[in-house]
A and B are shown apart, each in its own frame.
Chain A
Amino acid sequence: MKRPGHRTTRRDFLLGAGALLPASLLATRLALAGSASAGSAGGDGRFVFILMRGALDGLAAVPPVGDPDHARLRGPMAVAGTRLDDTFALHPAMRFLADRYAARELLLVHAVATPYRERSHFDGQDLLETGATTPHALQTGWLNRALSARGAAGASAAASAAGATGATGVALGANVPLVMRGPAEVSSWSPSRLASLREETLQRLADLYAGDATLAARLADALASDAVAAQALGDESMTGMPAPAGAARGDAGDMESGKATGKPGHAALGETLRAAAGFLREPQGARVAVLETTGWDTHANEGGSEGALAQRLGALDGALGEFRAAMGAAWDRTAVLMATEFGRTAAGNGTRGTDHGTGAAAFLVGGAVAGGRVLADWPGLAPGALYQGRDLQPTRDLRALLKGVLHDHLQVSDRSLDADVFPGSAAVRREQGLLRG
């Protein structure tokens, strides 16, 4: 419960009395202000990466309805959606995205994969997040290294911006996922239902962490993010909850909310993406946000045009609609990329679901995207065309897509992309023309 009279404590603390924090700390982490360098680095693009953990069924989300084998393989699970071209349709639950496709703001990529060719979620997600070619080879994420590369390139231009090259990236959750971890300063933010700490207590905690670099950095990052979020959204929507602090919510939606996993669930996706808009749309806001989603691992009772997966896709689609509205004019500078660790089996399994597969689908949507098309070298679903006789054969490297976006939208150089962001990927040519020129 917010205490009246303390409504703006945290923001005031940071922006005013916050000078009491160790100066070096605060300078690097007022953070989200560091992105003043953005304009001078060329371009002012905003980028959101949405991780779809659990292996999204690309053949349901973007069904190849024109492929003669599709209906045979999927049987009653076959999805009939919004027709996109001769081969592909979009799942009917994704109505907002269908509109974006019509407006040429949605680009779909199909039969795409990271270099990973096994079927472990956890190793697959490791590659999706690190950008490496073997699991557990790197401890940092490609998105963080891309931010580092930008920071290095723009350092001189940014020097005038209060010396801050700090956090231009924010994780929308309590913790920072691997894709966003690394040398570049990033923060995390998630809505809190507890009362804010008193200014004096925050100061004592900051002093208490003086000898502990990790905790000191985490605290300062958190406060900086909260300040920016509060500024953008207003205090009420950040912390104002009708329930008393500490009380559990008893509604049925609770179980599906995903609060449990520390990641926003589908019910909370809209709220979280609106908060992301708060960070991203402001001139001094973050450039990059990352959001984790779960629940795509549809081994049983997946459904088709309707059903379990349809509901999840619909929830995500609705949240994206809210995000666009909250971004306002900044939507035109925005690209949202949604990707998953691998696809699912071409055929349904014995329990009306699908098992772990290989080739997947990815989404790129935003006002900055040159969309209205599906990028695919479609391998087909004929028996001989399937990977190991069971999965969609990948014909495109996801890294080409990621490199194209990072280059055109966030001005990361080819040299950095080939060597640092995706080590050893020089042979993977970045995709050109993903964004409006």
Chain B
Amino acid sequence: MDPVAAAMATNRYGLGARPGELAGIASDPRGALHAQLAGGPPLLSGQGLVDGATALARAESLRESLRAAKRGGQADAGTAFMKVGQYYRPLFVAEARARLQCAADCERPFVERLVHFWANHFAVSVDKALVLGLAGPHEREAIRPHVLGRFADLLRASTQHPAMLMYLDNAQSIGPGSRAARFARSGVGLNENLAREILELHTLGVDGGYAQADVTEFARVLTGWSIGGGRGRLRGGEPGHYFFREALHEPGARQLLGRRYRDDGEAQGLAVLDDLARSPATARHLATKLARHFAGDVPPPALIERLAQAYLAHDGELLPVYRALVDAPEYWAQPLPKYKTPFEYVASAYRALAVPLPEGQRALAPLELLGQRTWSPGSPAGWPDRAADWDGPSALLKRLEWADQLGQRLGAQRDAAGLAQEVLGGALSAHTQEAIAHADSGAQALTLLLGSPEFLRR
């Protein structure tokens, strides 16, 4: 039995312990993590969850009917925006709530953490209102099926998901030499947003050895990667689904990152993505981010190297990388090196207290109050991943105020001292134990548990 390792397994690799969870894995904490990886892809479905293509097609038809109404002088442009927002908002709430519910309940929290990690790696941010109803589907349809598979599949699925094509503006990027450009008014052409962020954020990393010329060339490669069911230039294809538009695609062979890619339509872009996924720079970039996320803000270089090697040795298979993460001796040396993000904090509180989530949108209020509304990092770089990004004074006070609210509500019905043992186990300090034991009320005891240094970190 190793109570410290069990606490680390559930906190560092998981989402915090539910009562009983620590006891269940104490005999073999590492084995329990490996076992989580052994199952199938962590798919998520449920009531109110609509697939991305259906949601997008519906939103587009709303926009279209409003455009028609406007042509007839019946509505203004702002109304169209509002209608789509009204359609998307409940979808967003259902998706974000299902995600939090899953985090609070799930039996494979390590795998769930990996879902969150990759969704954040391929971040789409709903502060761009166009993707409000699509961020959830992006995670469920592009991320979850491939989290335990190959990075190349993850990369392709995310890049081709309408959420990403819209978020990073590729859906309407047009090759200057394409058929569509010849018949279009002036001013249509390339948008290099997606091409740049794939290189910088999703694959090679900012120091991965590419130049502006590579960005522009890659943007030409990606022209035509679009979405079906639009109007005019964007006619054709299944509404709401990824669709390659030959007419928008820049013809010709392309030269980027030292390689030549022949004129091959959609396959040209797929070939570039595959090469990017195989690059040692990509391996190092992904290894660094994974190590920082699970091991600590400043991960040991030797560990990064081992993860990168595992990635390259298995042609981008992710399971060997995760196994190397679990087996890394560095991970088990220091108990709680990371400051929880607001999402991790809220999820771990719900797991510890085993209370049902509030109904509807109310369930999401804590995430917003604590500064991490779901799928809203505000930038394609995703949420930051170091303590200094989250542990500001005002941020701490808000956590404590929220913890106190839970304490007031539930403290009288809970034995905080016993619960502390149940959820922190071997990581619980004598100092915290004593503080909880001497609290002046059940409410205060619970507030102290949720506000303790051990509970704020993972």
Contact = CB atoms under 8 A, between A and B. Distances in A.
**Interface bin, chain A:** 35 or more
A118 B388 CA distance: 25
A54 B379 contact: yes
Contact of B173 (A247, A265, A350): A350
B69 interface: no
B378 A263 contact: yes
Contacts of A215: 396, 453, 456
Interface stretch (B25-33, B41-49, B439-447): B439-447
B235 interface: no
Given A54-B379, A121-B381, A215-B456, A300 B393 contact: no
B188 interface: yes
B364 interface: yes
Contacts of B174: 350
Contact of A176 (B192, B378, B388): B388
A211 B379 CA distance: 36
A260 B265 CA distance: 39
A223 B397 contact: yes
A196 B401 contact: yes
A395 B400 CA distance: 48
Interface in A198-220: 198, 200-201, 204-205, 207-212, 214-215, 217-219
B127 A260 contact: yes
B21 interface: no
A258 B126 CA distance: 10
A244 B304 CA distance: 47
A189 B398 CA distance: 10
Given A219-B393, A350-B190, A355-B191, A260 B376 contact: yes
Contact of B393 (A221, A259, A299): A221
A261 B395 contact: no
Interface string A394-416: 00000000000000000000000
A128 to B, nearest CB: 14
A353 B169 contact: yes
A268 to B, nearest CB: 12
Given A75-B187, A350-B189, A218 B435 contact: no
B401 A356 contact: no
Given A181-B388, A356-B196, A197 B361 contact: no
A248 B365 contact: yes
A258 B393 contact: no
B334 to A, nearest CB: 15
Contact of B187 (A76, A118, A194, A195): A76
A226 interface: yes
A160 interface: no
A193 interface: yes
A279 to B, nearest CB: 12
B105 interface: no
A426 interface: no
A180 to B, nearest CB: 10
Contacts of B372: 260, 262
Contact of B398 (A194, A211, A225): A194
A357 to B, nearest CB: 11
Most chain B CB inside 10 Å of its own CB: which residue of A207, A348, A351: A351
Given A195-B401, A252-B82, A260-B378, A175 B453 contact: no
Most chain A CB inside 10 Å of its own CB: which residue of B132, B169, B190, B376: B169
B381 A122 contact: yes
A79 B378 CA distance: 26
Contacts of A262: 371-372, 395
B200 interface: yes
A194 B369 contact: yes
B452 interface: yes
A209 B451 CA distance: 10
Interface string A258-276: 1111110100000000000
Interface string B354-377: 000010011011101111110011
Contact of A250 (B215, B361, B388, B435): B361
B224 to A, nearest CB: 13
Nearest to B205: A120
A85 to B, nearest CB: 29
A380 B369 CA distance: 47
Nearest to B93: A248
Nearest to B440: A200
B255 to A, nearest CB: 18
A258 B398 CA distance: 17
A263 B127 CA distance: 12
B403 to A, nearest CB: 9
A349 interface: yes
B276 to A, nearest CB: 16
Nearest to A391: B212
B206 A120 contact: yes
B85 A208 contact: no
A274 B191 CA distance: 38
B187 A350 contact: yes
Contact of B191 (A176, A192, A207, A350): A350
B361 A248 contact: yes
Contact of A173 (B191, B366, B394, B439): B394
B440 A208 contact: no
A261 B127 contact: yes
Contact of A190 (B89, B381, B394): B394
Given A208-B435, A263-B378, A349-B192, A188 B393 contact: yes
A211 B429 CA distance: 11
B395 A174 contact: yes
A175 B391 contact: yes
A255 B127 CA distance: 7
A225 B398 CA distance: 13
Given A204-B444, A351-B173, A218 B391 contact: yes
Interface of B: 82, 85, 89, 126-127, 129, 132, 168-169, 172-174, 176, 186-193, 196, 200, 206, 212, 215, 358, 361-362, 364-366, 368-373, 376-379, 381, 388-398, 400-402, 404-405, 429, 431-432, 435, 439-440, 444, 447-448, 451-453, 456
8 contacts: A119-B196, A174-B392, A222-B393, A223-B397, A246-B402, A248-B368, A300-B169, A350-B190
Interface of A: 53-54, 75-76, 118-123, 135, 171, 173-176, 178, 181, 187-190, 192-198, 200-201, 204-205, 207-212, 214-215, 217-219, 221-223, 225-226, 245-248, 250, 252, 255-256, 258-263, 265, 294-295, 297, 299-300, 348-353, 355-356, 388
What 5 pairs across the A-B complex have the smallest Cβ distances?
A350-B189, A260-B373, A262-B371, A175-B392, A260-B376
